[in-house]
Amino acid sequence: MIMPNEKTQKKTIPFIQAKKEKKEKIVAITAYDFPVAKIVDQCGIDLILVGDSLGMVVLGYKNTIPVTMEDMIHHTRPVVIASKSALVVGDMPYFSFHLSNEESVYNASRFLKEAGASAVKIEGASKKRLKLVEALVEAEIPVMGHVGLTPQSIYHFGQFKVKGKEIEEAENIVKDALSLEKAGVFSVILECIPMEVARIITEKLKIPTIGIGAGPYCDGQILVFHDLVGFSNGYLPKFVRKYVDIHEVISRAVKGYIDDVKKGKFPDSNYSYHSKSGKLDELIKKEDQKRGKKKK
Ligand code: KIV
């Protein structure tokens, strides 16, 4: 068993990396607010990603493109406050790391300085992106890579679909993961790629791979919280296992509340405050008498 920082109990990047060496699975999840982060942290999650999936599952956008730095900082801060043990990684939103390295490093630093995250994640592995990873590491900002399906390239891809099913694309993804490792990322997300490709990458890399839709051979797994608890009653990708139907649970509770209020069943005396015995008797008697007179 690998232990987190002995003093703080906080899971660190070396702790996450040691799990690969010891062949212990890394379990990661997304969270975007205090109450959910508190629950998943207390459950023993290793790593919480404040993903820009925020845009889709919390803010109601059709993709992650509109998410801003302000959105991300706003949501990362409460997750960090709630996380006593899990390592928190902030996801850099679209166009927060696409211009100069200087601006990108500044944006990344905000996740650490203003929100308290321990690392940032960026999508892609172009030459420019690799240089940025080096600049971030140089600025003491730990970076998580992300290859395969990279949702910020949605307009480029045209749709969300599995990457690396053909040899050339698979080879490029392997190459990208290796280049990211060389540039200095501490781990890499593999999203929506065939499990065989994820296996090759996981065996080649010294740093941990964390898969989402990338099969069982990755060093760890990550799922979007809202998917695994069933917040949406719409389409879910093949790789999501829905552990509870929270949409149904919440709907049942809210319908029960509506019904009870309409029928006068809530609140009853048990859910109401009462005056100390006798203290309001005089007032009640006077009001009752007034009401009695009015009726006549
Ligand atoms: O934004 C996100 O939630 C992610 C995960 C799907 C890895 O990038």
d(CA 221, CA 25): 8
| Cβ 30 under 6 angstroms from ligand 1 | yes
Q: What is the distance in A from the centroid of ligand 1 to the CA of 64?
A: 10
Q: Residue whose CA is closest, atom 5 of ligand 1?
A: 51
Q: Is 191 a catalytic residue?
A: yes
pLDDT at 15 over 70: yes
pLDDT at 276 over 80: no
Q: What is the distance in A from the centroid of ligand 1 to the CA of 192?
A: 11
The confidence score (pLDDT) of residue 1 equals 64
Q: Which helix (H) or strand (E) holds 221?
A: strand 220-223
d(CA 91, CA 278): 60
Q: Residue whose CA is closest, atom 2 of ligand 1?
A: 51
The confidence score (pLDDT) of residue 200 equals 98
d(CA 193, CA 176): 13
pTM passes above 0.85? yes
Q: Which helix (H) or strand (E) holds 227?
A: helix 225-228
d(CA 83, CA 179): 31
**Cβ(47)–Cβ(26) below 8 Å:** yes
Mean pLDDT is lowest, of 29-38, 178-187, 217-226, 233-242, for: 233-242
| Cβ 176 under 6 angstroms from ligand 1 | no
What mean pLDDT value characterizes the chain?
Answer: 95
Alpha helices per DSSP H over 25-166 = 34-43, 54-57, 69-82, 101-113, 127-138, 154-157
The percent of residues in the chain predicted with pLDDT above 90, rounded, is 86
Options 134, 166, 169, 191, the catalytic residue: 191
**Cβ(204)–Cβ(178) below 8 Å:** yes
Query: Over the stretch 18-66, which tens digit does the pLDDT of each residue have?
Result: 999 999 999 999 999 999 999 999 999 999 999 999 999 999 999 999 9
DSSP 152-197: GGHHHHSS------SHHHHHHHHHHHHHHHHHT-SEEEEES--HHH
Reported confidence tier of residue 3, pLDDT bands at 50, 70, 90: confident
Q: What is the distance in A from the centroid of ligand 1 to the CA of 129?
A: 18
The confidence score (pLDDT) of residue 46 equals 98
pLDDT at 211 over 90: yes
| Cβ 190 under 6 angstroms from ligand 1 | no
The contacts of residue 206 (CB under 8 Å, 6+ apart) are 20, 181
Q: Give the nearest ligand 1 atom to 123 CA.
A: 8
Q: What is the distance in A from the centroid of ligand 1 to the CA of 187?
A: 14
The confidence score (pLDDT) of residue 275 equals 85
Q: Residue whose CA is closest, atom 3 of ligand 1?
A: 51
Reported confidence tier of residue 181, pLDDT bands at 50, 70, 90: very high
